[in-house]
Amino acid sequence: MKNKIILLLFALFSLGLSAQTAKSVLDKTAALCSSGAVQVNFTAKGARGNSSGTLVAQNNKFTLQSPQANIWFDGKTEWSIVSGSDEVNVSNPSAKEIASMNPMNFVNLYKKGYKSTLKTVGNNYEVHLVATSKSQAIKEMYIYISKTSSKPTLVKMRTGSKDWTSIVVNSFKTLGKQSDAAFKYNVKDHPGMKVIDLR
């Protein structure tokens, strides 16, 4: 009888593992981000060099602080200040440019336009996304997600034929809903800056 119970539990456990899909794994991660903003401390390596910083993202809006630049994006307009500069550049970035700056954007992308597969790598799930259309800004992604917390630990993405960027998530926490103003450049916080409108 005891052996039958153990076999039944093992079968149920195995069934639970097999029912796990790339979408269900990403759904859990997306749910962490749906109640408000998330703050991510990251280290990035790519064709354009290495960087690190703090990203605060909410839906398609984000702010990015790094030693190289400070960036605000409200879903349409981007304001950027290069470190040491007395200018703020204002632009309407392309989808490709946005994708390269916001590694958390995968929570908005995976439901449409990508083929996905799932496998286990150590303590993480590895979700592999491949674009089904050439028009997609991100052509391919690998997203590593903690099996216990559903938080992302590493994102690798390719926007061009060989242009891979790897973003290590050093910390991830939820902040609650932020105001729209948090994702806009505030002139009062940066007196004396010249505004260069590139739109």
What SS3 string covers the chain? CHHHHHHHHHHHHHHHHHHCCHHHHHHHHHHHHHCCEEEEEEEEEECCEEEEEEEEEECCEEEEECCCEEEEECCCCEEEEECCCCEEEEECCCHHHHHHHCHHHHHHHCCCCEEEEEEEECCEEEEEEEECCCCCCCCEEEEEEECCCCCEEEEEEECCCCCEEEEEEEEEEEEECCCHHHHCCCHHHCCCCEEEECC
Domain 21-197 adopts which CATH fold?
Answer: outer membrane lipoprotein receptor (LolB), chain A (2.50.20)
pLDDT at position 54: 95
Question: Is residue 49 scored above 90 in pLDDT?
Answer: no
The Cα–Cα gap between 143 and 10 comes to 28
Q: Is the pLDDT of residue 7 over 60?
A: no
Ramachandran quadrant class, 130 (left: phi over 0; alpha: psi -120 to 50; beta: rest): beta
Residue 168's pLDDT is 94
| Tens digits of residue pLDDT in 128-184 | 999 998 888 889 999 999 999 999 999 999 887 778 889 999 999 999 899 999 999
pLDDT of residue 12: 37
**Residue bearing the bigger pLDDT, 16 or 136:** 136
Mean pLDDT across the chain: 85
CB-CB neighbours of 47 under 10 Å = 11
